[in-house]
Amino acid sequence: MSQAPGAQPSRPSVYHERQRLELCAVHALNNVLQQQLFSQEAADEICKRLAPDSRLNPHRSLLGTGNYDVNVIMAALQGQGLAAVWWDRRRPLSQLALPRVLGLILTLPSPVSLGLLSLPLRRRHWVALRQVDGVYYNLDSKLRAPEVLGDEDGVRAFLAAALAQGLCEVLLVVTKEVEEQGSWLQAD
């Protein structure tokens, strides 16, 4: 199909959910999987399965607004036939075999505020990174639109900066086969 003269090549369609309540874990899952597969209700059901006898569920906010923990993310991915592998921050990022990784989910510290008042607390904020048509994107639900990270070097630079801040953790989203083979890791 030919383009009209002077037309710009179209950018790939990148699925990106925006932040609502404390549902960043749900948004990160959907963003990394590039489709709406999970909802607050689905995440709440996972919480109930993880702690069926708990009156106050330890895997989500007491207020019922989200703020899901890593166990919910891991169970959600397992339900899709995928796995989450913790990245050991002591390893050099050059050992990360990005072509074998479907996407990444990071937890970053996020400040807590009440209106204009900033509180001395930190909460976790889940962020997805994903390659679409050869380009890596930061799919943080707090962003208005996906942020282009570029190629593998761009992702590694982003990860290095996030990990250097301290309280960041990285989950690799991979197929079960890649998890079992350990092929998300390459020799340095």
- One DSSP character per residue, 82-131 reads EEEEE--TTS-GGGB-GGG-SEEEEEEEEEEEETTEEEEEEEEEEEEEEE
Categorize the per-residue pLDDT at 131 as very low, low, confident or very high, splitting at 50, 70 and 90. very high
Which pair of structure tokens corresponds to residue 146?
């996906």
In the residue annotation, 140 being an active-site residue is answered as yes
Domain, as residue range, for 83? 23-181
Tally the C-alpha atoms within 13 A of residue 24's C-alpha that lie toward its C-beta: 22
Catalytic, out of 16, 24, 47, 168? 24
- Asked if residue 6 belongs to a domain, the reply is no
Catalytic, out of 16, 27, 59, 125? 125
* CATH number (domain holding residue 37): 3.90.70.40
49-96: pLDDT as tens digits: 867 677 776 556 655 666 778 888 899 999 999 999 999 989 999 999
- Asked if residue 14 belongs to a domain, the reply is no
- Asked if residue 161 belongs to a domain, the reply is yes
- Asked if residue 4 belongs to a domain, the reply is no
Asked whether 170 and 159 are in contact (CB, 8 A), the reply is yes
Which pair of structure tokens corresponds to residue 120?
């001395």
Categorize the per-residue pLDDT at 121 as very low, low, confident or very high, splitting at 50, 70 and 90. low
- Asked if residue 153 belongs to a domain, the reply is yes
- Asked if residue 87 belongs to a domain, the reply is yes
- Asked if residue 169 belongs to a domain, the reply is yes
Compute the average pLDDT of residues 133-138: 95
Catalytic, out of 47, 69, 140, 168? 140
pLDDT for the residue numbered 7 = 41
In the residue annotation, 24 being an active-site residue is answered as yes
Number of structural domains found in the chain: 1
